[in-house]
Chains A and B, each alone.
Chain A
Amino acid sequence: MLELRLVQGSLLKKVLEAIKELVTDANFDCSATGFSLQAMDSSHVALVALLLRSEGFEHYRCDRNLSMGMNLNNVSKMLRCAGNDDIITLKADDGSDTVTFMFESPNQDKIADFEMKLMDIDSEHLGIPEAEYHAIVKMPSAEFARICKDLSSIGDTVVISVTKEGVKFSTRGDIGNANIVCRQNTTVDKPEEATIIEMQEPVSLTFALRYMNSFTKATPLSNTVTISLSSELPVVVEYKVADMGYIRFYLAPKIED
């Protein structure tokens, strides 16, 4: 028996909007730790890891570990029927091939049940070891989204370079090239507007902008984004999900031929 009640149901709506472009089908895993997902895009270039810790739910009952295969487009269709202020409860019985999404309006005057068919998904689970990153950039998520969008009108790839000067996003294309430098800036009114660069050593990596732009679908979840870079590892682009967890996007770099 599974029963997860999330008072801030809009978080789940935003999570689905953040990942459904990148991943078509995925297994949602429930355990005592929380509600999680790990999935790769169809070309195995990017990976998304979601964790919503059990403590973040108003009610969290998961009698035994359960893996539920879902088509994310269909989940998104279901969740779009929930109001932004609705409380969302996920329910599944042991051995059932369906999951039920229950939506309650804040004043309890409307209660809706949406039952969705589960599917068998044969997905590969990857072990991601803890890593030391050469540079970690924390910046406003809207700023990062703007940079990715702007650069993708010029080129297909972005070079992200971190030096003592700041973090530089560069691209080049048929019509020309572009460089955007963001310097560390902690003298702002609100902490979420700060750009903070922790650098152990300079790093420069090249990535496909198409994936970066897809990751920025998570922007409504968090005012800030954290970008972790190491010269021999995929970049990690992380958005916090309130104080209950995170969405991490891993993207493999492009290398010189």
Chain B
Amino acid sequence: THVQLSITEFYRST
């Protein structure tokens, strides 16, 4: 089974 990562785990808030 796979877990979906979130895009916010990769890019920081500006």
Chain B interface helix/strand/loop/mixed: mixed
Q: Using a Cβ–Cβ cut-off of 8 Å, how many residues does chain B contribute to the interface with A?
A: 14
Binds B, one of A89-97, A121-129, A160-168: A121-129
Indicate with 1 or 0, residue by residue over B1-14, a CB within 8 angstroms of chain A CB atoms. 11111111111111
Query: Does any Cβ of B come within 8 Å of A45's Cβ?
Result: yes
Q: Which residue of A lies closest to B11 (CB)?
A: A126
Q: How many interface residues does chain A have, given as a range?
A: 20 to 34
A253 and B13 within 8 A (CB): no
Least Cβ–Cβ distance between A123 and chain B, in angstroms = 10
A250 and B7 within 8 A (CB): yes
Q: Which of A90-141 contact B (CB under 8 A)?
A: 124-129
- In the complex, which of the residues B2, B8, B14 contacts A44, with contact meaning CB atoms closer than 8 Å? B8
Considering the chains assembled together, what is the distance between the CA atoms of A47 and B9 in angstroms? 12
Q: Which residue of B lies closest to A159 (CB)?
A: B2
Least Cβ–Cβ distance between A27 and chain B, in angstroms = 13
B7 and A255 within 8 A (CB): no
A254 and B4 within 8 A (CB): yes
Query: Does any Cβ of B come within 8 Å of A7's Cβ?
Result: no
Q: Which residue of B lies closest to A252 (CB)?
A: B5
B3 and A234 within 8 A (CB): no
B11 and A127 within 8 A (CB): yes
Least Cβ–Cβ distance between A231 and chain B, in angstroms = 12
A46 and B2 within 8 A (CB): no
Q: Which residues of A contact B5 (CB under 8 A)?
A: 45, 252-255
19 residue pairs from A and B, CB less than 8 Å apart: A40-B8, A43-B6, A44-B6, A45-B4, A45-B7, A126-B13, A126-B14, A127-B11, A127-B13, A157-B2, A234-B7, A234-B10, A251-B7, A252-B6, A252-B9, A254-B2, A254-B4, A255-B3, A256-B3
Nearest first, the 8 closest Cβ-Cβ pairs linking A and B are: A254-B2, A126-B11, A252-B5, A127-B14, A257-B1, A252-B7, A47-B7, A44-B6
